[in-house]
Chain A
Amino acid sequence: MSKQSDLKKQYKKRGQMAEAWGRMKTQPLAVISLVIVLIMVFVAIFADILVPYSAAVTQHGMDKLLPPFTSGHILGTDNFGRDILARIIHGTRTALEIGVISAGASIIISTILACLCATVGGWLDNIIMRVIDVISCIPSLVMALAICAALGNGIPQLVFALFFTGIPMHTKMVRSVALGVANMDYVESAVALGAKQKYIMYKHMVPNLASVIIINGTAQVSMNIMMGATLGFVGLGVKAPTPEWGTMLAEGLNYMLRNQYMVMVPGIVLAIAALFINSLGDCLRDALDPQLKGRA
């Protein structure tokens, strides 16, 4: 008995996560993306400790439109005299909140829908896909605009709008992969072993869909951050004093000639966030796939 346990221990491999990390750390891009995203998360979580919320929102100063590195404002101040850095820091929190929650929710719902389509199939697949087709006729930005306009401003409303508009594309993407997985022999083998629908979904479908889920999910996070900013830019979504990159951009536009940093800073931060969240998704997918082990 104990001999066998020893055997298993003897050939024990490192855990999945350790393996994934081992693969990831060999790739500079992966490490850079991870570091940048971790910094963003850190900033978002400890925003209040880094800078008090009041500094970003209410503390209007006399020093308006200062360029960077003047009188203690590292990134300068905006037209109300608020510290831009403080607003960027609290904006990170807003952006991640919006991006992660909306993308997470839509990927969960889409994955469930896609798995149902692939495993049950038939009429259910038909109904779900036709509804999705109808929804995806409307451009997602237009739909998000419409939902935000209907529900009013505020983070929850914005999150709901982004969540809803994300569903059609995800469901289509995940379904196409799920159909392939559902046709694999190992799924049939599980049926032949007496496994229930739910077991197959948990044990076979989801792990094999992980790569498409991760890559789509992270792409969606960055897309939703962008879309949230776009909506903020046109004055929908987040309410006015709340620090948000899109709104900051919009405000900065009016003062572009007097202080270009009001536009440049949120623009660059937005671009960096979108880029590295996306590339982190790519790298994660490669790292989590045991089949890619040892390959470039």
Chain B
Amino acid sequence: MGEKLLEIKDYSVTFTSDKVDFYAVNHVNLTVEKGEALGLVGETGAGKTTTALSIMGLLSKYGTKTDGEIWFDGKQLTGMKEKDYRKIRGKHISMIFQDPMTSLNPVFPVGNQIADVIKIHNPKMNQNDVNSKVDEIMKMVGISAERKFDYPHQFSGGMKQRIVIAIAIACNPELLIADEPTTALDVTIQAQVIKMMRQLQQELNSSVILITHDLGIVANFCDKVAIMYGGEIVESGTLEDIFDKSLPHHPYTIGLFNSLPNIAEKTERLKPILGLTPHPSELPQGCKFHPRCPECLDKCKSGDIPSLYTDGTHCIQCHLYHKEDA
């Protein structure tokens, strides 16, 4: 612990389409240390996936403007040549997408698809070594190696997602980005996949960025949490910082928790956040959350983004917690 693997510094992404600007990601600062699992939480349009694609260098070049820096393992990723980036993708950073059904190629056996990744990054490895590596990886994700000759449609949804994960970890990446890896799966299958991912993470000692809207999964899986709203990280900290109800929180975080029906105790009525998530093309002035905020102050409505309130590892981007600073 303690060694920085990924560092995002004041990073922004703006898409332009039809002369309309979409502020997808705004001044994000984020660090992931080695062996750490970070949960990136937010709703549709919060900029989670854009952040992930930026780290992978997979954003479309056209109509996209980025600002800020992304550093990975001492190398700057922003502005890196495509040729160099390709050596990092899949080998050092890999990504799991939401839908296992469309992430696999239906016309090749799954074993070949795993082997492909290994061969791309280890062109000199001989076929026998590749094969044994494939067997080993399939065993790691809990699928017997005999099934490597089967095609994706012969697997169930949960099994397919395991194979997608197998492809992602084939080269022991230092950083794994999982974009809603279990949203398309049933609860019991989700539990299996999450458990497996946790074991793998410990075995390989890799870092994980888990993108999700499900605070339950975050509580189960992550060490650190960052909550995104309107392209900004509004609150971040360790798992305890975020989930401890006695600590101060961003009003959006509080609203998120209140929106969830509680399993443990019967609540008569949910307390949802009023209003709607703003579209990235029409973000409000000042604090992005102020139109929906129950504790909105005058100074929230305009001016700059509120500065951070920090308490150790815990950061909140909100005016509420600043002690009378003009």
Contacts and interface: CB of A to CB of B under 8 A. Distances in A.
A295 interface: yes
Interface string B1-25: 0000000000000000110000000
A296 interface: yes
A149 B17 CA distance: 55
A294 interface: yes
A265 B263 CA distance: 79
Contacts, number: 4
Nearest to B18: A296
Interface in A276-296: 294-296
A296 B17 CA distance: 9
Nearest to A294: B18
A294 B18 CA distance: 8
Interface size class of B (residues with CB under 8 A): under 10
A8 to B, nearest CB: 24
Interface residues of A, number: 3
B141 to A, nearest CB: 34
Contacts of A294: 18
Interface in B1-51: 17-18
Contacts of B17: 296
A155 B18 CA distance: 48
B318 to A, nearest CB: 34
Contacts of A295: 18
A296 B20 CA distance: 12
A195 B184 CA distance: 33
Interface string A220-259: 0000000000000000000000000000000000000000
Nearest to B17: A296
Contacts of B18: 294-296
Interface in A42-82: none
B15 to A, nearest CB: 14
A209 B18 CA distance: 27
Interface string A187-226: 0000000000000000000000000000000000000000
A26 to B, nearest CB: 11
Interface string A74-103: 000000000000000000000000000000
A295 B19 CA distance: 11
A99 B17 CA distance: 39
A295 B17 CA distance: 9
Nearest to B20: A294
B194 to A, nearest CB: 31
B103 to A, nearest CB: 23
A294 B17 CA distance: 10
Interface string A14-42: 00000000000000000000000000000
A14 to B, nearest CB: 20
A286 B17 CA distance: 18
Interface string A251-275: 0000000000000000000000000
Contacts of A296: 17-18
B228 to A, nearest CB: 26
B62 to A, nearest CB: 12
A277 B150 CA distance: 50
Interface string B225-244: 00000000000000000000
A56 to B, nearest CB: 48
A269 to B, nearest CB: 36
Nearest to A296: B18
A23 to B, nearest CB: 12
Nearest to A295: B18
Interface in A140-163: none
Interface string B273-316: 00000000000000000000000000000000000000000000
A294 B281 CA distance: 13
A295 B18 CA distance: 7
A296 B18 CA distance: 7
Interface of B: 17-18
Interface of A: 294-296
Shortest Cβ-Cβ A-B pairs, 3 listed: A296-B18, A294-B18, A295-B18
4 contacts: A294-B18, A295-B18, A296-B17, A296-B18
